[in-house]
Structure 1
Amino acid sequence: MDTVTAGQPVLVIDAMKLLQTLTAPCAGVIVQINYAAGESVDMDAVLITIDPEE
Structure 2
Amino acid sequence: MSVRLRLSLVTRTGIEEKLRNDSNFIRIVCDHIAGMTDQFASREYRRLYLPDY
* More helix as a share of residues: 2
What TM-score do the two structures reach when normalised by structure 2?
0.20
Flag the structure with larger Rg. 2
What TM-score do the two structures reach when normalised by structure 1?
0.20
